[in-house]
Amino acid sequence: MELHENNRFRWILSFFIIILFWILLGSSFINIYSSISLLFDKNKNFINTELYNYIGSNIPFLCMWLGFYFSFKYINNIKLSKLSNSSNNFKFNRFYKILLFSIFYFILIIVIGELINLYNFEYIKNKAIERAIFIPFALILTPLQVIAEEILFRAIILKIIIKKYSLLRYKRNTLFLSIILSIFLGLLFIVPHLFNPELNTYFLGAILYYFIFGSLATFSILVTNGLEMAIAIHLANNFIITFFCTYENSALTSVPLFIKTNENPISSYYEAFCLFLLFILLAIKNKKIIKEYLFGEKKI
């Protein structure tokens, strides 16, 4: 497969085409999905179940994948693996290690939050059958949704701005350029989440959480030259909400074991700080990579 050189116009065109697939085609398929469900259930007994809502909320992301296929094949002629890591194949070993560590970390901070009375755990009863049916769908659709967001809001935008992730390496102002770019994408990541229902409960805390993740995930991509860390932490976060513990007014439909109730407003800032701390811990773990990124010999 012959790969085109990185072309900013092609990536801008791809970005808007994918947005159209996501929003317009996604909305059309949601309407079709709702209409078909009504034909099968005229009494509307099941259309408000978690699984129905979960599938419906993921239809736009499946349409986004159609946009990826069209754009990568017919506009950029590039393999998905080449986009996820600009020089090598996706590093699954790094991805799985960060994913497992992040899952246990998120569980730990939730438990600590309950112990210090930031919220209370409430077991979700009488949902065993719904949960058993829900799990296989969530195991497939949650990664697709997460990876789609990471490709659209980080990988493609970075392709528009810079030719390669590695182009910022080894420059005198590497850190400054990386921080500016990370802040920009962090602010941009807030935009598609502005209509999430949790913002009605704790607006500033939720905005801070999205900004921290968006900016630090971008920085991790620049430093590691790949999407592994960003996807792993994003997926761990969504897995926790989907399978372990959700919260009231969550944008993610799920059937987890617990729900957080009686939340203290401080809890959103607590979780934003813990997210920031997670990236710090992973930075310490990968300090050699960061040092090489900032001070290594010029190789580009």
Residue with tokens 């203290």: 264
Helices 50-71 + 26-40 axis angle, to 10:
140
Contact assessment for residue 291 and residue 229, using Cβ atoms and an 8 Å cutoff: no
Strands (E), the chain: 120-123, 245-247, 258-261
Q: Do residues 186 and 218 lie in contact, with contact meaning Cβ atoms separated by under 8 Å?
A: yes
For residue 267, which of 248, 282, 242, 240 has the smallest C-alpha distance?
A: 248
Q: DSSP character for 120?
A: E
Q: How many CA atoms lie within 13 A of 250 on its CB side?
A: 22
- The pTM of the whole model exceeds 0.85: yes
Cα dihedral sign for 143, 98, 197, 251? positive
Q: What is the pLDDT of residue 298?
A: 46
Q: Identify the segments of the chain with pLDDT beneath 70.
A: 1-6, 38-48, 80-88, 163-172, 296-300
pLDDT reported for residue 175:
82
Predicted pLDDT of residue 287? 87
Torsion angles phi and psi, residue 250, rounded to 5: -70, 140
Q: Which residues contact 160 (CB under 8 A, 6 or more apart)?
A: 8, 11, 12, 15
Q: What's the confidence (pLDDT) of residue 145?
A: 96
- β pairing state of 120-123 and 258-261: antiparallel
Model pLDDT, residue 209: 96
Instruction: Please give the C-alpha separations between residue 27 and each of 15, 236, 293, in angstroms, as whole numbers.
Output: 18, 27, 42
The model's pLDDT over 167-223, given as tens digits with 9 standing for 90+, comes to 565 556 778 888 999 999 999 999 989 988 888 888 899 999 999 999 999 999 988
**DSSP sequence for 128-146:** HHHHHHHHHHHHHHHHHHH
Q: How far apart are CA 272 and CA 198, in angstroms?
A: 14
Q: In what order do the strands lie in the sheet with 258-261?
A: 120-123, 258-261, 245-247
What are φ and ψ of residue 218, in 5° steps? -60, -45
3-state secondary structure 53-84: HHHHHHHHHHHHHHHHHHHHHHHHCCCHHHHH
Cα–Cα distance, 207 to 269 (Å, whole number): 10
Q: How far is CA 111 from CA 106, 115, 242, 271, in A?
A: 9, 6, 16, 12
Q: Which two tokens stand for residue 203?
A: 């607006």
